[in-house]
Amino acid sequence: MAQWLNATVAETIHWTSSLFSIKAKTGPLPFIAGQFVRLALEGPEGRLQRAYSLVNPPDSDYQEFLISTVADGLLSPLLQQLTPGDTLGISHPPTGFFILDEIPDGDNLWLIATGTGIGPYLSMLATSEPYQRFAKIILIHSVRSAADLAYQELIAGFAKQYPGQLHYQPIVTREPHPGALQDRIPNLITSQQLQQHCGQGLNEKSQVMLCGNPQMITDTKAVLESMGLKKNLRRTPGNITVEQYWK
Ligand SMILES: Cc1cc2nc3c(=O)[nH]c(=O)nc-3n(C[C@H](O)[C@H](O)[C@H](O)COP(=O)(O)OP(=O)(O)OC[C@H]3O[C@@H](n4cnc5c(N)ncnc54)[C@H](O)[C@@H]3O)c2cc1C
């Protein structure tokens, strides 16, 4: 059964008025990159808890979360107000199967995210595993505005450390942005624009992880399945593995 740790907020980053990161000091909390915990706070009508992916590498003594504020949500607006020194509950052990251990080998690994769905990939990319297992890794981050492209420095650092192996491709859907594509992910795949832009094939020999917005996941999965890729299940290994953040 999950237990609760009392964590202290060490740092917050407000990327935009509705996108923020929280770093909380917990001491070591072993997990596998890609897993999530529950964060809990006392709300006006009792304790609120929701799932959040860990952004930091597994061996840190702080835990980091990238969170978007859902305007009429119950917990995320309260999390946004936290400041250093505040406390919050963190469930342990971390859990979840959106991890590289569940992904079969392949020619390349596509890590596709919308919004805060990039979080688990940042944790994975800070470990050696993806680079040891896949010749090419393509990180796709789709957001509405360029200001939502969080963790640019961290990603640039990974790309510098693994030149030619990690390709980062931002997509900004609502405004032009240098270096970014500007369309929905399923359209970019159907038109082959994404594959051409990234210089990588996307086929039955690829592994694809999808994380974030449920509509992106449903639509992208449908396009990939029409191209012959299959859902990855333990009993029938395939190519597509998903983590959906809400319904
Ligand atoms: C495995 C897992 C990992 C997750 N990791 C993260 C994470 O790293 N960062 C993060 O920000 N969220 C993450 N989420 C979503 C998070 O658990 C909450 O659902 C979200 O923060 C909203 O909580 P709330 O209490 O503010 O809103 P609620 O009061 O619970 O919900 C309000 C409504 O908003 C919808 N909703 C939930 N999230 C969003 C969203 N982002 N955009 C638009 N509508 C939404 C819900 O379906 C609901 O109808 C994750 C969810 C899961 C299942």
Give tens-digit pLDDT for 10-40.
Answer: 999 999 999 999 999 998 899 999 999 999 9
DSSP for 194-245, written as a single string? HHHHHT---STTEEEEEEE-HHHHHHHHHHHHHTT--B--SSS--SEEEEE-
pLDDT value, residue 114: 98
pLDDT value, residue 31: 98
Structural contact between residues 6 and 83, judged by C-beta atoms closer than 8 angstroms: no
Determine the CATH number of domain 3-92: 2.40.30.10
Determine the CATH number of domain 100-244: 3.40.50.80
Mutate to test the pocket of ligand 1, among 76, 98, 242 (most ligand atoms within 8 A of CB): 76
Residue-wise pLDDT tens digits, 96-116: 999 999 999 999 999 999 999
| CA 127 / ligand 1 centre spacing (Å) | 26
- Nearest CA to 194 out of 204, 183, 205 is that of 183
Would you say the CB of residue 113 lies under 6 angstroms from ligand 1? no
> Could you give the CA distance from residue 128 to residue 203 in angstroms, rounded to a whole number?
24
The 10 Å Cβ neighbour count of residue 25 is: 14
Range 71-84 average pLDDT: 97
> Could you give the CA distance from residue 155 to residue 179 in angstroms, rounded to a whole number?
14
> Residue 27: left (phi > 0), alpha (psi -120 to 50), or beta?
left
pTM value is 0.97
Domains of the chain: which residue ranges? 3-92, 100-244
Token pair listed for 245: 């953040």
Structural contact between residues 66 and 133, judged by C-beta atoms closer than 8 angstroms: no
